[in-house]
Structure 1
Amino acid sequence: MDAHETGGPDPRGDRARRALGRYGEELAARRLAEAGMTVIARNWRCRGGEIDIVAREGDALVVCEVKTRREGAFEHPMEAVRPAKAARLRRLAGRWLADHGGPPGGGVRIDLVGVVLPRRGAPVVEHVRGVA
């Protein structure tokens, strides 16, 4: 019997979930770069949480949340940022600004990149600007 069957932690599941997230973040960073953005930080952490990607678009700072799901998952990635998560992202953006010299002239925007991995074929990457 493994840990999963006994109700304990499932390190294989955790590793698989982290690998899925890292893959989605890599696809998201590429998409943002293709759109003309410059990725300046990935997986920035502070006591209040983590920002998946921090980028610049012109003179604007973009805080980007990345959600990756396998096709057929219960929830589409674009449904994952609810009001509490949006508020947390705004707080984290404020913390980033406090640690990195304040807001840029172009302001701050929070974007979401949703990645869906189909059973076959290429991943579907959606970028929505200004979600929170």
Structure 2
Amino acid sequence: MPNPRAVLGAHGEDVASRYLTERGLVVLDRNWRCRQGELDLVAVDGQTLVVVEVKTRTGVAFGHPAESVTREKLLRLRRLAQLWLAAHRVGWVEVRFDVVSVLVRPGRPVEVEHFPGVY
């Protein structure tokens, strides 16, 4: 039986990917993994490579989803982005770090908030 948290997270990434695509970004990679961790989404916005952390929750009792992205998490995303760039042999490129918050509450429409350039 699938892990409910994993199912919720995958749904949030689907929602975030669709949301960003509808706003003109091109998603290049999803759930890219290496030994050091995982990037949820890697996209392109014009000439800018965008590393996207997706946070999905079913409520705000423990805070807004975006609040769970700590400085340490952003530093890890930066290291992972460098590894992604090296693995894909990408030369110099402007990189932006975004957070997409997805709230999936029973009986309510899904709420998506995009926080571009958080780091």
1:39 aligns with 2:27: yes
What runs of 5+ residues in structure 1 fail to find an aligned partner?
1-11
The match for 1:82 among 58, 70, 80 is 70
The CA distance in 2 between the partners of 1:111 and 1:85, in whole Å, is 12
The CA distance in 2 between the partners of 1:130 and 1:37, in whole Å, is 14
The match for 1:57 among 32, 45, 54 is 45
**Contact 1:69–1:116 (Cα < 8 Å) also in 2:** yes
Residue 5 (structure 1) aligns with: none
The 4+ residue runs of structure 1 with deviation greater than 6 A are none
Count of aligned positions: 119
For 2:118, give the aligned amino acid.
Answer: V
Q: What pairs with 1:63-78 in structure 2 (closer than 5 Å)?
A: 63-78=51-66
SS at match of 2:3: helix
The CA distance in 2 between the partners of 1:103 and 1:109, in whole Å, is 15
CA deviation profile, 1:53-76 (whole Å, cap 9, x unmatched): 000111110000000000244121
1:117 aligns with 2:104: yes
When normalised by structure 2's length, the TM-score is 0.93
How far is the alpha carbon of 1:103 from its aligned partner?
4.2
Residue 17 (structure 1) aligns with: 5
How far is the alpha carbon of 1:128 from its aligned partner?
0.5
When normalised by structure 1's length, the TM-score is 0.85
**Contact 1:33–1:39 (Cα < 8 Å) also in 2:** yes
What runs of 5+ residues in structure 2 fail to find an aligned partner?
none
For 1:82, give the aligned amino acid.
Answer: T
